[in-house]
Amino acid sequence: MENMKIYDAGKSVPEEAQKTIKGGRLNGFTDINPMWRIRKLTELFGPCGIGWYYEIDREWLERYEGTGEVAAFVRISLYIKADGEWSKPIVGVGGSMFAANERNGVRVSDEAFKMAQTDALSVACKNIGIGAVVYWSEGETKYSHMTDETPRQMPPIQDPTKATPEQVSAIRQSYGKRIGELLEKNGIERLEDLPRAKADEIMNYLSQRRAS
């Protein structure tokens, strides 16, 4: 098989399978319809289970202590048949929010694993060039190009000048109802905004108190 045959056959995405994201931090980027990938796999290799298939290798949840949110992740192995031979596993890992903080409280999704699975398939397909033109034009990182099934809420990058999620959790547990006093004393509204130096100082104090 020519090296670029599959890549070139699957790289272009028709306009009807694309949707521009409007609003939010992904404004201007492009969603690719998940069913278009299924169709393209079928065009290239045959029906699912005959010319291609995938297996779920692992499903798991991860909790982010700083926000209390929970994300669902799925790892899959995609297999394709080319020139009469099955490929080695083409791995894809996808994620979706299982429990997300919203204005009216925590929202739990009963479709988180399904969406993470769809996201994982999109990652595996990208490895063989499916949808490559869109990915190429918008950058190769997962968070600059997301499918409809990809989680929109992901935990923020840790600010090195602020308390770590582990520190926030430990301080909140230790202070209990006195958290308000600590926030007022440090001129902050959220414990997550506590300066790292102050958080280190409190953690040292708590450690010494437990040791005594």
The per-residue pLDDT for range 138-148, each reduced to its tens digit, is 554 444 444 44
Same domain, 95 and 27: yes
Let me know if residue 157 belongs to a domain.
no
Q: What local confidence, expressed as pLDDT, does residue 200 receive?
A: 87
Q: For residue 121, is it within any domain? A: yes
What per-residue confidence (pLDDT) applies to 58?
93
CA proximity to 93, closest of 127, 62, 116, 60: 116
pLDDT at 24 (0 to 100): 53
**One domain for residues 65 and 127:** yes
In a domain, 152, yes or no: no
Output the 3-class SS for 59-108: EEEEEECCCCEEEEEEEEEEEEEECCEECCCEEEEEEEEEEEEECCEEEE
Residue 155 lies in a domain: no
In terms of domains, do 107 and 178 share one? no
**Max avg pLDDT among 6-10, 18-22, 28-32:** 6-10
pLDDT of the residue at 51:
97
pLDDT at site 160: 65
Asked if residue 188 is part of any domain, the answer here is yes
Q: Do 65 and 117 belong to one domain?
A: yes
**Model confidence pTM above 0.75:** no
Q: Is residue 160 part of a domain?
A: no
Domain of residue 204 covers 165-211
Does the residue 151 lie in any domain? Answer: no
Residue 154: what pLDDT? 45
Residue 130 sits in the same domain as residue 171: no
Band of pLDDT at residue 28, cut at 50, 70 and 90: low
Say what the pLDDT of residue 140 is.
45
In a shared domain, residues 125 and 207: no
- At 95, which CATH number? 3.30.390.80
Q: How far apart are CA 191 and CA 194, in angstroms?
A: 5
Give the C-alpha separation, 59 to 68, whole Å. Answer: 20
Judgement on whether residues 31 and 75 belong to the same structural domain of the protein: yes
Asked if residue 43 and residue 81 are part of one domain, the reply reads yes
Does residue 39 sit in the same domain as residue 118? yes
**Which pLDDT score, from 0 to 100, does residue 144 have?**
40
> Mean pLDDT score of the chain, rounded to an integer?
82
Q: How confident is the model at residue 41 (pLDDT cuts 50, 70, 90)?
A: very high
Same domain, 178 and 113: no
Compute the average pLDDT of residues 177-203: 87
Residues 114 and 185 in one domain: no
Does some domain include residue 123?
yes
Whether the Cβ atoms of residue 203 and residue 170 lie closer than 8 Å to each other: yes
Please tell me the total count of domains within the chain.
Answer: 2
For the cut 90, the answer to whether the pLDDT of residue 65 exceeds it is: no
Same-domain pairing of 126 and 182: no
Residue 27's pLDDT is 56
pLDDT band at 29 (very low <50, low <70, confident <90, very high): low
Are 95 and 72 within 8 A, CB to CB?
yes
pLDDT of 170 over the 60 cut: yes
Average pLDDT over residues 112-129: 92
